[in-house]
Amino acid sequence: MEPRTLFQKVWDDHVVVQEPNRPAILYIDLHLIHEVTSPQAFTGLRERGIKVRRPDKTIATMDHSTPTDPRALMVIDDQAKVQLAMLESNCEEFGITCYPLGDSRNGIVHVIGPERGFTQPGKTIVCGDSHTSTHGAFGALAFGIGTSEVEHVLATQCLLQRKPKTLEVRIDGKLMPGVTAKDIILALCAKIGTGGATGHVIEYTGSAIERLDMDGRMTVCNMSIEAGARAGMIAPDETTFGYLVGREFAPKGADWDAAVERWKQLRTDEGASYDKTVTIDAHTLEPMITFGTNPGMGMQINESMPTADSFDDGSQKAAYEKAMRYMGLEPGRPLSGQKVDVVFIGSCTNSRISDLRMAAGVFSGRKVAEGVRTLIVPGSHDIKKQAEAEGLDRIFKEAGAEWREPGCSMCIAMNGDNLEPGQYAVSTSNRNFEGRQGKGGRTFLASPLTAAAAAITGQVTDPRSLLLS
């Protein structure tokens, strides 16, 4: 047999039908749904009088518009209330398991999938949400879909898909202290741009990736979409199996042993080729931060922002100048020392226990700078409980940060947690688009370490200066 890539193996395994000149009919093993992108799909089913084909392969959670204020768990507006109620009633009508607001298993969709053990190597996983790429950290083929496709999967458990190309991102070497998984993926976005991987599935390989824990691998795969990729994947290994063993929905006993044997085959064969390869030397990476209005506009934290003249291409220059105007920043200057108003630590990129531990390491024994609002939002109730068991919540609260209930929160600003116009935030989320964290808000994307350092000093700060002292 021809040598195959990890992607090719998972793809081949799920093609139900491939007719010439037609997209493949691809079988979906796990379908995650949430309140925002599903209502119109259920309406479609109802209009046609059809059922959900495999409710047993469908899991629902509420995360985008759910409140995170522990004092007043009130849904902020009537429209959001209707949307949440609709998800619950749709799940009831169609027999789908739902983890509603307040349920102990509730959390951000891309956090609870792995946490409950639904996410497993070799599965095809979809969700009406572009950060579904997160689940690729387990060697699954996981990608975001639109609402029409949500309806397709609900109705047939299948999708029409054209086969994407493959891009290997090879990252060898050791990360220096203070440099994290988030910095790897921000460096990739800066290197290849937000359209750099369009039409491709990324496979992350190399010793730096192998050394990451699952939380770090999820951070990397999560932002594959920010480089334009359809999905990101990492071959499963002992780290993956170690994470999954014993989880609620992971196989048990003899099934587990058989599964691990199968999963071990999910590696790119010697001699298999990718359509493209990009390499990064982990040793040269530094903490990263974005300065513009897309995740590709990033740099090492101690660098200066580009000057407008450094762009040859007229439209790139115009785009850069427009971004700088929105951000209220002067090209050519360093960002270090820039005052910040808000720090957000959370989102499906960086709200897991390792992220919180990293942040707590910086907060420990220190105080949040005056005038800086700091929100720490765990990705799920499980993570919240774990963090509280470790006393991390106390560290955050003693430092003067807000310890919130789980949800997407200020990543997408649909739930009442948002920036005010003109405010600057250092955020561990994944998108710095204009208005993403609130109309007129200005976002610098960075790692949990860099975000925590900004909270302490009140300005953009190289976290290594706090780690060493």
Q: Pick from 274, 302, 271, 270: which is nearest to 286 by CA?
A: 302
By the rule CB under 6 A, 384 interacts with ligand SF4: no
Rg, Å, the chain Cα set: 21
**Residue 77 partner contact from ligand SF4, another protein, none using kind-dependent CB cut-offs of 5 to 8 Å:** another protein
**Residue 173 partner contact from another protein, ligand SF4, none using kind-dependent CB cut-offs of 5 to 8 Å:** none
Q: Which residues contact 166 (CB under 8 A, 6 or more apart)?
A: 5, 7, 8, 200, 201, 202, 203, 274, 275, 276
By the rule CB under 8 A, 28 interacts with another protein: no
Residues in the chain: 469
Q: Which is nearer to another protein, 77 or 103 (by Cβ)? A: 77
Pairing state between β 24-27 and 15-17: antiparallel
CA 98, CA 45: separation in Å to the nearest integer?
Answer: 18
By the rule CB under 8 A, 175 interacts with another protein: no
Do 58 and 154 form a contact (C-beta atoms < 8 A)? Answer: yes
Site string for another protein, 360-399 (x = CB under 8 A): ----------------------------------------
**Residue 63 partner contact from another protein, ligand SF4, none using kind-dependent CB cut-offs of 5 to 8 Å:** ligand SF4
Q: Which residues within the stretch 240-269 sit at the binding site for another protein (CB under 8 A)?
A: none
Q: Which residues within the stretch 181-240 sit at the binding site for ligand SF4 (CB under 6 A)?
A: none
Give the DSSP letter of residue 4.
-
Q: Which residues contact 275 (CB under 8 A, 6 or more apart)?
A: 165, 166, 167, 200
Residue 51 CB neighbour total at 10 angstroms: 12
Torsion 191-193-198-203 (CA) sign: positive
CA 329, CA 116: separation in Å to the nearest integer?
Answer: 43
**How far from 379 is each of 68, 201, 263, 430, CA to CA, in Å?**
11, 25, 27, 14
Q: Which residues within the stretch 206-225 sit at the binding site for another protein (CB under 8 A)?
A: 225
Do 201 and 8 form a contact (C-beta atoms < 8 A)? Answer: no
Which residue of 51, 283, 325, 439 would you call a contact of another protein, by CB under 8 A? 439
By the rule CB under 8 A, 104 interacts with another protein: no
Which residue of 140, 141, 408, 419 would you call a contact of ligand SF4, by CB under 6 A? 408
**Residue 176 partner contact from another protein, ligand SF4, none using kind-dependent CB cut-offs of 5 to 8 Å:** none
Which residue of 210, 213, 341, 434 would you call a contact of another protein, by CB under 8 A? 434
Which residue of 225, 348, 399, 445 would you call a contact of ligand SF4, by CB under 6 A? 348
Which residue of 70, 95, 177, 195 would you call a contact of another protein, by CB under 8 A? 195
Could you give the strand order of the β-sheet that contains 276-281, starting from the edge strand earlier in sequence? 231-233, 200-205, 165-172, 276-281
Considering the complex, what minimum distance in angstroms separates the CB of residue 188 from another protein? Answer: 15
By rule CB under 6 A, what count of residues binds ligand SF4? 14
Do 125 and 28 form a contact (C-beta atoms < 8 A)? Answer: yes
Which residue of 106, 134, 294, 351 would you call a contact of another protein, by CB under 8 A? 294
Q: Which is nearer to another protein, 116 or 230 (by Cβ)? A: 230
Q: Which residues contact 261 (CB under 8 A, 6 or more apart)?
A: none
**Tokens found for residue 18:** 């491939």
Considering the complex, what minimum distance in angstroms separates the CB of residue 400 from ligand SF4? Answer: 24
**Tokens found for residue 98:** 């739902």
Which residue of 14, 31, 57, 64 would you call a contact of ligand SF4, by CB under 6 A? 64
CA 222, CA 227: separation in Å to the nearest integer?
Answer: 10
**Residue 404 partner contact from ligand SF4, another protein, none using kind-dependent CB cut-offs of 5 to 8 Å:** none
By the rule CB under 6 A, 129 interacts with ligand SF4: yes
Considering the complex, what minimum distance in angstroms separates the CB of residue 57 from ligand SF4? Answer: 20
**How far from 408 is each of 300, 348, 351, 430, CA to CA, in Å?**
27, 7, 9, 11
Considering the complex, what minimum distance in angstroms separates the CB of residue 64 from ligand SF4? Answer: 5
Q: Residue 189: how many CA atoms within 13 Å on its side-chain side?
A: 34
**Tokens found for residue 415:** 């739930």
Which residue of 88, 194, 269, 386 would you call a contact of another protein, by CB under 8 A? 194
Q: At what angle do helices 39-48 and 147-156 cross, to 10 degrees?
A: 50
| Segment interacting with another protein, rule: CB under 8 A, options 177-185, 207-215, 234-242, 429-437 | 429-437
Q: Which is nearer to another protein, 36 or 445 (by Cβ)? A: 36
- Residue 322: phi and psi, rounded to 5, are -65, -45
**Tokens found for residue 459:** 């300005």
Considering the complex, what minimum distance in angstroms separates the CB of residue 166 from ligand SF4? Answer: 24
Applying CB under 6 A, the residues found at the interface with ligand SF4 are 63-64, 108-110, 129, 131, 347-348, 408, 411-412, 429-430
Applying CB under 8 A, the residues found at the interface with another protein are 16-17, 21-23, 25, 27, 36-37, 39-40, 43-44, 48, 64-65, 77, 79-80, 82-83, 86, 128-130, 132, 144-149, 151-152, 155-158, 160, 162, 164, 194-195, 198-199, 225, 228, 230, 294, 296, 315-316, 318-319, 322, 412-414, 431, 433-436, 439
